[in-house]
Amino acid sequence: MDEKFRELLIRAHRIVVKVGTSTLTHSTGKLNLFRLESLVREMVDLRHQGREVILVTSGAVGAGMGKMGLSERPKTMPEKQALAAIGQGILMHMYEKLFGEYGETVAQVLLTKDDIAHRERYLNGRNTLLTLLRFGVTPIINENDTVVFEEIKFGDNDTLAALVAGLVDADLLVLLSDIEGLYTADPRKDPSATLINLVEEITPQVEGLAGDPGSKLGSGGMFTKIQAAKIACNSGIPMVITNGSRKNVLREIVSGDYPGTLFVPRDHRIGARKRWIAFGSRINGTIWLDEGAEKAILTRGKSLLPSGITKVEGEFPPGSVVSLWGQNGEIARGIVNYSSEDIEKIKGAQTKEIMSILGHKDYDEVIHRDNLTLRT
The CA radius of gyration of the chain, in Å to the nearest whole number, is 22
Phi-psi region of 53 (alpha: psi -120 to 50; beta: other; left: phi over 0): beta
Instruction: Please enumerate in sequence order all residues whose Cβ is within 8 A of that of 354, keeping only pairs 6 or more positions apart, or say none.
Output: 306, 346, 361, 364
Q: What is the pLDDT of residue 375?
A: 75
User: Which residue among 274, 309, 341 closes a domain?
Assistant: 274
Please indicate if the annotation marks 373 as binding a ligand: no
Considering the domain architecture, whether residues 321 and 219 belong to the same structural domain is answered as no
Residue 62 assigned to a binding site: no
Q: Is 58 annotated as a binding residue?
A: yes
224 labelled binding-site residue: yes
Q: How far is CA 209 from CA 184, 223, 321, in A?
A: 6, 9, 31
Q: Annotated binding residue at 154? A: no
pLDDT of residue 259: 82
Q: What is the pLDDT of residue 151?
A: 40
Q: Which of these three, 256, 274, 292, is where a domain ends? A: 274
Residues 220 and 179 in one domain: yes
Residues 295 and 198 reside in one and the same domain: no
Number of folded domains that form the chain: 2
Domain boundary pick from 274, 292, 308: 274
Residue 329 marked ligand-binding: no
356 has binding-site annotation: no
CATH of the domain at 305: 2.30.130.10
Query: Do 148 and 269 lie in a common domain?
Result: yes
Known binding residue 178? Answer is: yes
Sheet holding 309-313, edge to edge: 309-313, 286-289, 321-326, 329-335, 372-374
pLDDT in the model for residue 376: 60
Looking at the structure, tell me whether residues 223 and 311 fall in a common domain: no
177 is an annotated ligand-binding site residue: yes
5 annotated as belonging to a binding site for a ligand: no
**Any known ligand binding at 347?**
no
Q: pTM for the complete prediction? A: 0.81
Q: Based on the domain organization, do 226 and 359 belong to the same domain?
A: no
- Do 266 and 292 sit in the same domain of this protein? no
Q: What is the pLDDT along the chain (376 residues), one digit of tens a residue?
A: 678 888 889 999 999 999 988 888 887 767 888 999 999 999 999 999 999 999 999 888 878 888 888 877 777 888 888 888 888 888 999 999 999 999 999 999 988 777 887 888 888 889 999 999 999 999 999 887 656 544 434 557 898 899 999 899 999 999 998 888 999 887 878 888 899 999 998 888 888 887 654 433 333 478 889 989 988 988 889 999 999 989 899 999 999 877 899 999 877 667 777 888 888 778 999 999 999 999 999 999 899 999 999 999 999 999 899 999 998 899 999 999 999 999 999 999 999 999 999 999 989 999 999 889 887 6
Q: Is 225 annotated as a binding residue?
A: yes
Q: Please indicate if the annotation marks 245 as binding a ligand.
A: no
Q: Are residues 203 and 290 in the same domain?
A: no
Work out whether strand 372-374 and strand 321-326 pair parallel, antiparallel, or are unpaired: unpaired
The answer on 314 and 262 residing in a single domain is no
Assign residue 265 the CATH number of its domain: 3.40.1160.10
Q: Tell me which residue range forms the domain holding 33.
A: 3-274
Whether residue 189 sits in one domain with residue 120: yes
Instruction: Answer yes or no: do 231 and 317 share one domain.
Output: no
